[in-house]
């Protein structure tokens, strides 16, 4: 029999007590000659994309047993960003990524499991599981719960979670009635799945296809469908085929697939589909765990060579993940990307056993109104950009695909120390057309936890200011955010960044074409402000957030935790 990683806990007379414990869980004599597969599940009842994953795990475990392997299910935590949004619960969202990564690493390595199938779906859970799996580096397939179907108003208009958040601003401005608000509330999220647009969850689920660590359809096949169940079974069978073969078990170790080529492919597909700005944060962290030297500045180089060919909610409110699936899926997007002919995608091994180019060779666009042809792009450059300047010496991120007004904007700063103050100020009418809203002390350290800013950006959009107001923050944005919203400003205010030195009325200049974010101040004035600056440090009751604040790096490096003190 081949030597498996799990032999360390199940073979030999000295493992008698270990086998005794395994027998207590139901294992029999013949099970000790089979591969042990970890089934990392993120089932949790409070998240729409996760409340049904207990049933998904049963399907996957059933298929693993049918293919002569032994499954061991374990769980991670999960936080619903939508429910945590707009209050201090959001402080825990990004930090949960680190807990999830460490949980996966801990269970897999403590029990010496041979391979893993991971079942994530939403928000921080996807990158957390990827980061943990990279630390373990055994064959791993990711198969997410799948996207939610789009909702419809009683009048038949397609809606989603972004609609619900923006509806609050519209209601505040008197643009919609109580009845219309209730209609949106009751129908925006019609059932299980990750929220139906190209928000953070579906961005990451899509990028896993580009990285080659998930099978085709992972990012687009609707949740709770027969087609999705077939994908679960296909993934379970595939991981068993790999782990039972000595050569394949070595060949398909995760780091052999998720390498530098995979990271670059992920960013390229992100650009082509206008993904969430959070993907930048997460992919930088994933690159670090994969031992890939990829820097924030490298993103603009990729963006310049990628055409933006798929626009999805929130950038285009009428298109959702199910539409992308019907139009050919992520494979069709990638196949079309290669037609630009500049090496924007790199051939690479995928978990299916095919290379990326082999996987997409027969893909085709079935609806070019949904996925545009390369000669008819939404933009000749990608849907994300990294801005630099005296306001962001280490970089800042903007989702260019979501800009509703001009890509060049100059306006007066209206400064808020934290998201709660910004929400209150916007509702009180402190923000006018032509302003640049500044929300600071919401970075990884300053928050701590780097809150998402969907509530203020949705209020701005809902109140009709989306094309005439810009927003910058050292925090981050939900994938549902649209408008001229610049996040991840680094250095952040809590570490003495220029965003902390701004005053109301300062003139801020944004030029997406030239990748510029700057404040128009004389150098002597900046020096005076720096000399007098004392950053705000929030009082914390949470021990976990205190630990996180002490260890976290800023957004330009992916907000990862320091491991070498």
Q: Which residues are catalytic?
A: 478
Pairing of the two strands 70-75 and 158-159: unpaired
The answer on whether 323 is annotated among ligand-binding residues is no
Alpha helices, H only, 428-484? 454-462
Calpha distance 454→312 (Å, rounded): 17
The answer on whether 366 is annotated among ligand-binding residues is no
Contacts of 292 (CB under 8 A, 6+ apart): 259, 260, 263
Calpha distance 36→22 (Å, rounded): 11
Calpha distance 116→137 (Å, rounded): 10
Calpha distance 351→507 (Å, rounded): 50
Give, in order, the Cα–Cα distances in Å from 385 to each of 268, 373, 481. 12, 22, 15
The answer on whether 245 is annotated among ligand-binding residues is no
Calpha distance 306→343 (Å, rounded): 10
* Secondary structure class of 292 (helix, strand, coil): coil
177 burial via Cβ count (<10 Å: 0-12, 13-18, 19+): exposed
The answer on whether 504 is annotated among ligand-binding residues is no
CB of 15 within 8 A of CB of 36? no
Distance of CA 10 to the CA centre of its chain: 37
Which tokens is 97 given? 């990524």
For tokens 């810009």, name the residue.
470
* CA proximity to 59, closest of 254, 224, 244, 242: 224
Contacts of 354 (CB under 8 A, 6+ apart): none
Q: CA Rg, the chain, in Å?
A: 23
* Secondary structure class of 155 (helix, strand, coil): coil
Task: Give the annotated binding-site residues.
Answer: 81, 123-124, 452
Task: Give the annotated binding-site residues for Mg(2+).
Answer: 81, 123-124, 452
């Amino acid at each position: 029999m081949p030597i498996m990683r799990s032999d360390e806990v199940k073979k030999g007379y000295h493992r008698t007590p270990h086998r005794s414990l395994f027998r207590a869980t139901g294992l029999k004599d013949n099970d000790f000659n089979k591969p042990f597969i970890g089934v990392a599940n993120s089932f949790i009842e409070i998240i729409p994309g996760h409340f049904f994953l207990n049933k998904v795990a049963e399907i996957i475990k059933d298929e693993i047993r049918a293919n002569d392997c032994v499954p061991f299910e374990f769980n991670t935590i999960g936080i619903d960003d939508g429910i945590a949004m707009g209050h201090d619960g959001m402080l825990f969202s990004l930090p949960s990524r680190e807990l999830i990564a460490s949980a996966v690493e801990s269970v897999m390595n403590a029990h010496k499991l041979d391979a893993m199938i991971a079942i994530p779906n939403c928000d921080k859970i996807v990158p957390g599981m990827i980061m943990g799996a990279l630390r373990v580096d055994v064959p791993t397939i990711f198969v997410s719960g799948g996207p939610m179907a789009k909702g419809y108003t009683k009048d038949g208009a397609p809606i989603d979670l972004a609609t619900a958040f923006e509806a609050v601003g519209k209601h505040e401005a008197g643009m919609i009635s109580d009845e219309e608000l209730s209609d949106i509330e009751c129908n925006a999220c019609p059932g299980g799945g990750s929220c139906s647009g190209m928000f953070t969850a579906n961005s990451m689920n899509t990028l896993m296809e580009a990285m080659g660590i998930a099978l085709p359809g992972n990012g687009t096949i609707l949740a709770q469908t027969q087609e999705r169940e077939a994908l679960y079974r296909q993934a379970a069978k595939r991981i068993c085929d790999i782990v039972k073969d000595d050569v394949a078990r070595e060949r398909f170790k995760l780091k052999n697939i998720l390498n530098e080529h995979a990271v670059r492919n992920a960013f390229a597909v992100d650009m082509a589909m206008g993904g969430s700005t959070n993907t930048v944060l997460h992919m930088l962290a994933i690159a670090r765990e994969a031992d890939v030297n990829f820097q924030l500045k490298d993103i603009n180089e990729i963006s310049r060579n990628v055409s933006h060919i798929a626009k999805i909610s929130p950038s285009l409110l009428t298109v959702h993940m199910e539409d992308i699936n019907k139009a050919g899926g992520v494979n069709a997007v990638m196949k079309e990307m290669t037609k630009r002919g500049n090496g924007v995608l790199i051939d690479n091994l995928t978990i299916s056993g095919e290379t990326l180019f082999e996987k997409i060779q027969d893909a085709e666009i079935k609806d070019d109104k949904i996925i545009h042809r390369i000669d008819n792009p939404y933009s000749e450059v990608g849907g994300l950009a990294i801005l630099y300047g005296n306001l962001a010496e280490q970089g800042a991120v903007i989702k260019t695909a979501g800009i509703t007004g001009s890509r060049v904007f100059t306006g007066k700063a209206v400064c808020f120390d934290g998201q709660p103050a910004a929400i209150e100020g916007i509702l009180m009418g402190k923000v006018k057309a032509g302003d640049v809203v500044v929300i600071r002390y919401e970075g990884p350290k300053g928050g701590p936890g780097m809150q998402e800013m969907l509530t203020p950006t949705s209020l701005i959009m809902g109140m009709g200011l989306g094309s005439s107001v810009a927003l910058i923050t050292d925090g981050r944005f939900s994938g549902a955010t649209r408008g001229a919203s610049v996040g991840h400003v680094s250095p952040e205010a809590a570490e003495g960044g220029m965003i902390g030195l701004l005053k109301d009325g300062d003139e801020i200049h944004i030029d997406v074409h030239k990748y510029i974010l700057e404040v128009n101040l004389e150098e002597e004035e900046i020096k005076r402000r720096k000399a007098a600056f004392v950053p705000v440090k929030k009082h914390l009751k949470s021990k976990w957030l205190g630990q996180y604040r002490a260890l976290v790096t800023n957004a330009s490096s992916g907000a990862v935790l320091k491991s070498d003190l």
